[in-house]
Amino acid sequence: MLRDHTCGEITAKEINKDVILAGWVSKRRDHGGVIFIDLRDRYGITQIVINPDNEHFEEANKLRREDCIQIKGKVRKRPEGMTNPKIITGEIEVITKHLLVLNKSETPPLEVDDRAVQSEEIRLKYRYLDLRRPSMQKKLQLRHNLAQAAREYLNKHDFLEIETPLLIRATPEGARDYVVPSRVHPGKIYALPQSPQLYKQILMVSGCDRYYQLARCLRDEDLRADRQPEFTQIDVEMSFIEEEDVYEVVEGLIKHMLKKGCDIDLATPFPRIPYDEAIERYGVDKPDIRFDLHLHDVTEIVRQTDFNVFKNAECIKCIAPGKDFSRGEIEELTSVATSFGAKGLAWTKVTSLGIEGGSAKFLEPIKDKLIKKIGANPGTTLLFVADKKKNTNEILGKLRNYLGEKLNLYKKDELKFCWITDFNLFEWDEEAQKWTPAHHIFTSPKPEHLQYLESDPGKVKGILYDLVLNGIELPSGSIRISNPDIQERVMAVIGLSKEDVERKFGFLLESFRYGAPPHGGFALGFDRLVALLSGTNDIREVIAFPKTKAAECPMDSCPTAWEDESLKELHLQLDSVAKKNIGKQ
Ligand code: AMO
């Protein structure tokens, strides 16, 4: 037997018992000729003692960090004053009789220690060592617990776990596809799924009724802390349901996951905020509602002044964080706002007599209306952004988040969920000068807005919803179009020709012609939820083998250069850019 206990479970109850343990040398200390080893495995740390008269003493003396060993010994109580109440095994130590070195370790290039600060590159290159750290093991455990809780809830509610293919025809989720060239069909490719969207809808046509999958999704897009090229969604689809049913399932699912995974009791239902209201109040469609700081639209009031910046702006909004900022702080906030794209940050201060400083002289004539609209108290600095409506909201929305953190306006560990509802079905793409889907093209328009589909697409709301946790979008989903004629009309609005539609989604539309049930669903960004519950925004912390921001893996060095042989087999050739990149010019 290689072990009969783990390093995280032996307590005073086992005193005088013989045990066999296996794990890694976390620390070795020499105390007056007696060797102490902190032996670590996934479950914890146990203190091992090796006395000088032990036949393995010399071997023990040579042990180094991360050597993998087995010990056999007897459990004893730690001497008075040597106990460690912080760990389960803190009352005992194991006095070793027998030591076996299972495998030596080279000097580890990183500290397997939660207190050490390590470079990201090194952590990812030696991820196996990084994952040995107790905090990383804890995150993997949490991820596992949450995944199992999700399965438990969905199984109990009659959902079937069904796998959908990884080699598929492209699905439109707004990012670029990763593609896989076909060897047996030279010149042809498979796409890797950006999500199982089309397949889950087809499963509804198949009569599966309630589907789920912990689905791997692959998207070639710019990476950020909360975006990886491969990530996991809890992907769900249901037939014969309405919007309310989706809210109920998502809320029930998250409540269950948090209770089971983290012993958190969550109050449901979550508040719902219509999209327009979210933008109006918070500037963004992912508001962090842990704090109340609102944006105030003062366009009509402020435009009447002689201040040029305000006179010609489409939208002027103000934020009043309730603080009297110093000149230095205002300068800092201005440069933060500029980094968010602002052309400047106008400001003034509310005093007991009116307003003072910054743009006060321009605002003087309308100061009463302004103060009344904002409801600001004396001693408050007002910060203004004037720009196109979209920019004003975006910039002040980001500044609001910045101020929330800087001024400690919320408790870091609080969890505040809210639904964002009533999104527009389409967004106007200024660059491409065309309508694009706000979510995806399979989202149903609100029936009462169908009449504007061709005449005024900007007016059409979709039956779609996002759930936001502390300012981060977690699940999003929609009620789908199940009528092929409406689907074709929606595709026409975004400029897809009949041929495009047929070529890209013909198989979905064809399936709809065989009695498609009304259906809808959602996908929850699982990595993001686990990360937030681990107290971080960075999803790489909760993915066993993530990629860097440059979409590379320092451990296995992927992506790697094409081998000539495989290029030949796939009937492919590299162009000059690719050749230069891999040094084959
Ligand atoms: P969507 O594209 O909004 O919807 O994705 C759903 C959720 O997945 C998470 N997410 C990501 N997480 C990590 N890295 C990424 N690159 C990444 N991209 C998205 C987010 C997001 O809310 N098929 C639809 C869902 C549906 O309509 O049912 C879809 O994929 O948390």
pLDDT in tens, 333-365: 999 999 999 999 999 999 988 899 988 888 888
Q: Cβ contacts of residue 394 below 8 Å, gap of 6+?
A: 283, 284, 340, 341
232-244 pLDDT tens trace: 999 999 999 999 9
Q: How many residues does the chain have?
A: 585
* Cα gap 421→219, rounded to integer Å: 25
**For a substitution probing ligand 1, which of 233, 243, 253, 439 has the most ligand atoms within 8 Å of its CB?**
233
Torsion of CA 47, 51, 56, 59, to 10 degrees: 70
Residue nearest atom 8 in ligand 1 by C-alpha distance: 525
**497 CB-near residues (< 8 Å, 6+ apart):** none
Residue 364 Cβ contacting ligand 1 at under 6 Å: no
**Geometric angle at alpha carbon 187, from 186 and 190, rounded to 5°:** 95
Q: Determine if ligand 1 sits within 6 Å of the CB of residue 525.
A: yes
3 state DSSP class of 202: helix
Q: Who contacts 575 (Cβ-Cβ below 8 Å, separation ≥6)?
A: none
Specify the DSSP element, H or E, that contains 568. helix 564-569
Question: Mutation test of ligand 1: which of 164, 210, 217, 481 has the most ligand atoms closer than 8 Å to its C-beta?
Answer: 217
The span from the CA of 266 to the CA of 471, in Å, is 17
438 in contact with ligand 1, CB cutoff 6 A: no
DSSP for 164-201?
--SSBS---SSSBPPEEE-SSSTT-EEE--S-SHHHHH
pLDDT digits (tens, 9 = 90+) for 465-508: 999 999 999 999 999 998 888 988 998 999 988 888 888 888 99
* pTM of this structure: 0.92
Question: pLDDT tens string for the chain (585 positions)?
Answer: 899 999 999 999 999 999 999 999 999 999 888 999 999 999 999 999 999 999 999 999 999 999 999 999 999 999 999 999 999 999 999 999 999 999 999 999 999 999 888 899 999 999 999 999 999 999 999 999 999 999 999 999 999 999 999 999 976 677 899 999 999 999 999 999 999 999 999 999 999 999 999 999 999 998 888 899 999 999 999 999 999 999 999 999 999 999 999 999 999 999 999 999 999 999 999 999 999 999 999 999 988 888 888 888 899 999 999 899 999 999 999 999 999 999 999 999 999 888 999 888 888 889 899 999 999 889 999 999 999 999 999 999 999 999 999 999 999 889 999 999 999 999 998 888 999 998 888 999 999 999 999 999 999 999 999 999 999 999 999 999 988 889 889 989 999 888 888 888 889 989 999 999 999 999 999 999 999 999 998 999 999 999 999 999 999 999 999 999 999 999 999 999 999 998 876
Helix, coil or strand: residue 370: helix
Contact (Cβ atoms closer than 8 angstroms) between residue 23 and residue 68:
yes
Answer yes or no: are the C-beta atoms of 231 and 551 closer than 8 Å: no
Task: Tell me how far apart the alpha carbons of residues 528 and 224 are, in angstroms, rounded to a whole number.
Answer: 12
